[in-house]
Amino acid sequence: MAVIEIPGGKATIKDKLVSEREIRPLKAAYMAAGSVIQKLSKMPGVQEAAIKSLEEEGGEAELVIADLSEEEAEKMMYLQDMAILTCLVDWTLDLPLPTKETIQDIPANIYAALASATESVAVSSLGEQPNFTPTKEPRSKETKQLNPTGPSSSSNGLSRAKIEKS
């Protein structure tokens, strides 16, 4: 456990998530936001801003304007909510601890402090996540099993739309 300073008091957060009960809500939010995370990783400036914030001691993530739909943005914000909720143990504030239903009711400066403090715990707790990036290798080099994202061997290279036009 770690005690951190937040506006108006202190908060105790987990420095490691261990049980499946602790990690599962975070995993579910991560899976829901997976396509958005992949989209963000391909946007110019996003990776550089993330690296810069990690390199600066105590640096906070730089705001990068991203072309996201409201639904995509909500998925990312929900992922942050779950990081806070899974890591926050207690605080000295004269407010009840947030829940899924009340997390958006806490003051923005407290939310930002908790988001900053819980981000690295959440990322490390998720561990290595599956990579669904297509590859040219039909079989995994390590396991020699079929690669689920490998090229199709049953296709003649024409899409159904191209065939129907012919």
Residue 23 is predicted with a pLDDT of 85
**What percentage of the chain reaches a pLDDT higher than 90?**
31
4: exposed, middle or buried (Cβ count in 10 Å: 0-12, 13-18, 19+): middle
Q: What range does the domain containing 45 cover?
A: 2-136
- Asked if the structure places residue 11 within a domain, the reply is yes
126 in any annotated domain: yes
Q: What percent of the chain has pLDDT over 70?
A: 61
Task: Show the CA angle centred on residue 34, arms to residues 154 and 23, nearest 5°.
Answer: 120
Residue 131: inside a domain, yes or no? yes
Q: How many Å apart are CA 99 and CA 82, to the nearest integer?
A: 10
Whether residue 152 lies inside any domain: the answer is: no
Residue 154 burial (C-beta neighbours within 10 Å; 0-12, 13-18, 19+): exposed
Give me the chain's average pLDDT, please.
75
Q: What values do phi and psi take at 80, rounded to 5? A: -65, -40
pLDDT tens digits for 28-61?
888 888 888 777 777 766 556 555 554 554 545 4
Specify the number of domains making up the chain.
1
Among candidate residues 88, 75, 84, the one with its CA nearest the CA of residue 29: 75
Residue 150 placed within a domain:
no
Q: Residue 102 to residues 11, 44, 73, 97: CA-CA distances in angstroms?
A: 17, 34, 19, 9
Element housing 90 (H / E): strand 88-91
In a domain? residue 76: yes
41 in any annotated domain: yes
Are the CB atoms for 84 and 5 separated by under 8 Å?
A: no
pLDDT at 89 over 60: yes
Interatomic CA distance for residues 99 and 90, integer angstroms:
12
Whether 155 maps to a domain, the answer reads: no
Residue 77: what are its φ and ψ, rounded to 5°? -70, -35
pLDDT at 27: 87
The better pLDDT of the pair 124, 139 is held by: 124
Average pLDDT over residues 144-156: 52
